[in-house]
Amino acid sequence: MTVLTIDWILLIEKLALIIIIIFASLGIALYTTFAERKVAAILQDRPGPNRAGPFGILQPLADGVKMFTKEEIIPTHANKWLFILGPGLAMVASLMTCAVIPWGGTIELFERKINLQVADVNIAILYIFAVVSLGIYGIMIGGWASNNKFSLMAVLRAASQAISYELAMGLSLIAVLMITGTLSLGEMVKQQQAGYWNIVYQPLGFLIFFICALAECNRTPFDLPEAESELNFGYHQEYSSMKLGFYLFAEYINMIMSSAVMATLYFGGYDIPFVDDAKLFTSIGNWAALIQVAVILTKIVIFIFVFMWIRWTIPRFRYDQLMNLGWKKMIPLALFNMLITAFIVLLKHNGWKF
């Protein structure tokens, strides 16, 4: 008699998927650091890191070894447990996001349909927002535990920035939710596969979401929490060795995850452009799913490139400019976008033809 039957194969399957996704995102993050330096170099007419291996391809490994072998310093007056918890929390929060992102269609292996999404929860987008907001705790705890006024100032900035930009982000997201009528990311991608990508309906919403994503990732021009020139690297000033590495890594993983979310919400997720995915599945089977994974990765790479391109183009905002932009420009625009979308959705519900 079995009271609770557990589908062990499902468990193993999901576990394998989780491990693959986590290692893949760590690997991509590793090479994103390299890409960042290369992109910066190319935009500034210089060759960039090119000594470790051909074209400097082994540079991230060299950086990793450097990070691991550096001295681990915990300041005497720091709160030791929180000091260690900070980077760990930042890392965990940024990795947790990847659970709900649909990385591709379904693969058929050993007569089982494997969905390339760890958890197809029907409130995926809410989950992402919750986890992203947790990410700020990693920064705040780290900065607070450092017992350093620059770090504290930096986390105050980080917190206020995250709050002000999450509002506009949520408002721009509501417009998407009104169009799709679902909170599940998998469902959203399926709708976009059938019709047009959401960017067609929501250009302004995407722009606001993109700007807010920049702010959420603490990327230039919104990198006030780690402003080198004003705050001595802000919240990770007291950090050294791999704890610093974790913070930097978490930032890059955040970048990848927000790119993935943007690709899923506005650019059709794993939808292959100009191709009918369903037909492709009947003709080449599992390969189609792999192509879809490649497609979403390509979209992510393009987004990351744009992130870097912006970073190496414009300087940091001043704090008052940041707040002005967030509260006086982004939120009204997002509200406007939301109202217009709501109006049109309402008209459509009442049988108007466009």
Partner 1 sequence: MNTLTNRAKQVNRSPMTFLESIYLWEIFKGMFITFKHMFKKQPTIHFPEQTRPYSRVFRGLHVLNRDEEGRERCTACGLCAVACPAEAITMEAAERLPEEEHLYREEKYAAKYEINMLRCIFCGLCEEACPKDAIYLSETFAPANYNRKNFIYNKQDLLIPNPTTETELLAKAKGETK
**Least distance between partner 1 and beta carbon 46 (Å):** 6
Per rule CB under 8 A, is residue 76 in the interface with partner 1?
no
Q: Which is nearer to partner 1, 281 or 312 (CB)?
A: 312
Per rule CB under 8 A, is residue 353 in the interface with partner 1?
no
Q: Which residues of 41-72 are buried (b: 16+ CB within 10 A; e: fewer)?
A: beeeeeebbeeeeeebeebbeebeeebeeeee
The CA–CA distances, whole Å, from 296 to 121, 122, 160, 239, 268 equal 20, 21, 32, 34, 9
Among 80, 279, 329, 348, binds partner 1 (CB under 8 A): 329
Per rule CB under 8 A, is residue 333 in the interface with partner 1?
yes
* Residue range at the interface with partner 1 (CB under 8 A); choices 11-19, 95-103, 305-313, 337-345: 305-313
Among 31, 312, 319, 336, binds partner 1 (CB under 8 A): 312
Structure tokens at 153: 């100032």
* CA dist., res. 67 & res. 60, Å (int): 10
Q: Which is nearer to partner 1, 122 or 313 (CB)?
A: 313
Q: Which is nearer to partner 1, 207 or 344 (CB)?
A: 207
**Least distance between partner 1 and beta carbon 53 (Å):** 15
**Least distance between partner 1 and beta carbon 52 (Å):** 14
The dihedral built from the CA positions of residue 146, 149, 151 and 152, taken in this order, carries a sign that is: positive
Q: Which is nearer to partner 1, 298 or 324 (CB)?
A: 324
Q: Which is nearer to partner 1, 137 or 312 (CB)?
A: 312
* Residue range at the interface with partner 1 (CB under 8 A); choices 128-136, 230-238, 289-297, 310-318: 310-318
Of 59, 5, 125, 102, the C-alpha closest to 300 is 102
Look up residue 235 and give its DSSP letter: G
Ranges within 126-155 binding partner 1 (CB under 8 A): none
**Least distance between partner 1 and beta carbon 214 (Å):** 11
Per rule CB under 8 A, is residue 302 in the interface with partner 1?
no
DSSP SS3 for 202: coil
Total residues interacting with partner 1, rule: CB under 8 A: 17
Of 153, 119, 121, the C-alpha closest to 139 is 153
Q: Which is nearer to partner 1, 7 or 45 (CB)?
A: 45
HSE on the CB side for 262, CA within 13 Å?
29
Per rule CB under 8 A, is residue 320 in the interface with partner 1?
no
Among 149, 287, 298, 313, binds partner 1 (CB under 8 A): 313
* Amino acid identity at 210: F
The CA–CA distances, whole Å, from 137 to 81, 91, 222, 235, 260 equal 14, 11, 18, 12, 22
Among 1, 6, 8, 45, binds partner 1 (CB under 8 A): 45
* CA dist., res. 308 & res. 233, Å (int): 19
Per rule CB under 8 A, is residue 53 in the interface with partner 1?
no
Helices within the chain (DSSP H only): 8-43, 59-69, 80-96, 124-145, 149-180, 185-194, 198-201, 203-216, 228-231, 241-266, 277-284, 286-311, 319-323, 331-349
The dihedral built from the CA positions of residue 17, 265, 193 and 181, taken in this order, carries a sign that is: positive
Per rule CB under 8 A, is residue 44 in the interface with partner 1?
yes
* CA dist., res. 305 & res. 285, Å (int): 31
* CA dist., res. 317 & res. 313, Å (int): 13
Among 20, 109, 318, 324, binds partner 1 (CB under 8 A): 324
Ranges within 195-214 binding partner 1 (CB under 8 A): 207
Per rule CB under 8 A, is residue 42 in the interface with partner 1?
yes
Per rule CB under 8 A, is residue 331 in the interface with partner 1?
no
Positions touching partner 1 (CB under 8 A) are 42-47, 50, 207, 309-310, 312-314, 324-325, 329, 333
